[in-house]
Each structure stands twice: as C-alpha cells, then as structure tokens.
Amino acid sequence: MRIKSKTAGLILPVFFVLGILIASTLGYWVTEGSKTPKKISEGEADPSDIRGSYSLSDLTNAFDIPVDTLAKAFGFSDAENPEEIKVKDFEAVYGKIGDLEIGTGSMRLFIALYKGLPFEADDDTAIPQPAWNILKKEGASDEETLDKYSERIVSLEGFKEAVVNPDQEADTEDERIIKGKTLFSELLDWGLTKEQISGVLGVPMGPSGMSVRDFCSENEIEFSGIKETLQELIDKIK
C-alpha cells in the first residue's frame, strides 16, 4: 500500500514524538545537562552515571541520601551551604593521596555501597575515612562487599582548612602552583606552551580566561591527573 507524501509528512513527526516519549519513560532518552543519573534495572539511579558537575542537592534528589550525610562523608560538614557543593570540588580539594584518589569515582563508590547498588570502582578510587565510618553504620552493603574496599580508606587529616571553604585556597610562597582556580592564561605566563597544555589534556586547550578545573569538568577529564602532570612540567621550568 502506498502512502501519499502529504500523509507521510503528517505521520512521521507523530511517530518521532512518540518514540522520544517512550524512550524517556524507559530512561534511554537523556537530554544534555540533565542532573539526574540514568536508571539501572532495579529502578534505582545508576551511581556510575554521577558527574563532577552534580551538586550534593542533585545527589540527594537522585538517591534519597541526606545532604548532611554526603557532606560529612567527604569532610565537608563545616562548609556553608553544603547542598551547593559539587562532586568535582572533592577532586580539587583532595585529589591524589598516595596511590589513591578522592574524586568523582569516590562519590560513585560511596553511594553504591550506601545504597547496596552494583558498581565496580577503579583500582585507584579511595574512600575517605568519614565515608567508611558512615558505611559501617548506615550502609546497605554487606560486610563481604565492604571488605573488598577496606584497603581503600584514606584519612582526611590535614585538609580541614581547605574543606571549610573549598573556594578559598591557602596562599603559598611559590606562586606557580596549580589550584582549582588556575587559569590557562596563568599556565602560559608560567612558561608552558599551548602545545604542551593541549598535549596533557588530550584535546585543544580551552580559552585563556577559563580555569583548568572548569575545562576538565566540562570535558569529562579528571582534573587531578591533569593537574599533577602540568605541575611536573611547570616545576621543570627554571
């Protein structure tokens, strides 16, 4: 049976809209900028879909975990307006501690263990000591599952001042230290070239007036690793 072109022009948009509605209902259609993680088979939000741009308030809405619990788990209990803290702030404040890293992966792991959801963390993903204490008391995961990560625990001692207000970073005598607010223009002023910076990022460098951390967040790049490599290059400049 042939369908007239005029009729087809009316039918196709209807099918397109219906397809989007169905996909959205099933959790397959996700618009850019959404602060709601995808669903997994159990009907819960998927911790592996947590992004650095998510705030603690976003996570509370998605996983039904109190903001105060999330803040306390990562040492931010003294911070003003903890609901506005973003996951990427953990990476900026803590980053690498020995061979482990506190960052987005740590929040994914904490929430997965707290809710008893399936998740496989990277080998270098750390669990802050306060988070571990909460998991032992309130988490839904069994002892066997928790024991798998018992060697990932790291202390937050020494970070107290930075945690109270992560946007206020301690002054240092050496001005060539990469911090959360360091701009690309500062890296250039310190002697790095655009080619060196782009080489470390794996993509072309962002605008000179943009901070390295914000650029990494927007491009799904782990800031701590980039920060460490760039710092090594800077330290070699006389």
User: What is the amino acid identity at position 223?
Assistant: F
Considering the domain architecture, whether residues 150 and 208 belong to the same structural domain is answered as no
Six token digits for residue 198: 């782009």
Distance CA 102, CA 89 (A): 10
Q: Return the closest-CA partner of residue 181 out of 72, 88, 101, 115.
A: 88
Residue 85 vs residue 6, higher pLDDT: 85
Q: Does 95 map to a domain?
A: yes
* Position 163 pLDDT exceeds 80: no
Neighbours of 67 (CB within 10 A): 19
Beta strands 127-128 and 100-102: pairing type?
unpaired
Length of the chain: 238
Considering the domain architecture, whether residues 150 and 190 belong to the same structural domain is answered as no
Residue 158: predicted pLDDT = 67
Residue 42: predicted pLDDT = 56
Q: Estimate the crossing angle of helix 104-115 against helix 129-138, to 10 degrees.
A: 10
Residue 173: predicted pLDDT = 40
Q: Does 26 map to a domain?
A: no
Six token digits for residue 95: 């980053």
| Total domains in the fold of the chain | 2
Six token digits for residue 23: 């996909």
pLDDT band for position 168 (50/70/90)? very low
User: What is the amino acid identity at position 198?
Assistant: S
Distance CA 94, CA 92 (A): 6
Report the SS3 class of residue 45: strand
Distance CA 122, CA 97 (A): 15
Q: Return the closest-CA partner of residue 238 out of 206, 172, 190, 196.
A: 190
- Among 10-24, 80-94, 212-226, where is mean pLDDT lowest? 10-24
103-138 pLDDT, tens per residue? 899 999 999 999 999 999 999 999 999 999 999 999
Residue 132 vs residue 16, higher pLDDT: 132
- Domain extent, residue 91, equals 47-164
Considering the domain architecture, whether residues 210 and 121 belong to the same structural domain is answered as no
Considering the domain architecture, whether residues 115 and 201 belong to the same structural domain is answered as no
Residue 131: predicted pLDDT = 94
Considering the domain architecture, whether residues 189 and 228 belong to the same structural domain is answered as yes
Can you give the pTM of this predicted structure? 0.56
pLDDT band for position 171 (50/70/90)? very low
* Position 204 pLDDT exceeds 50: yes
Distance CA 62, CA 70 (A): 13
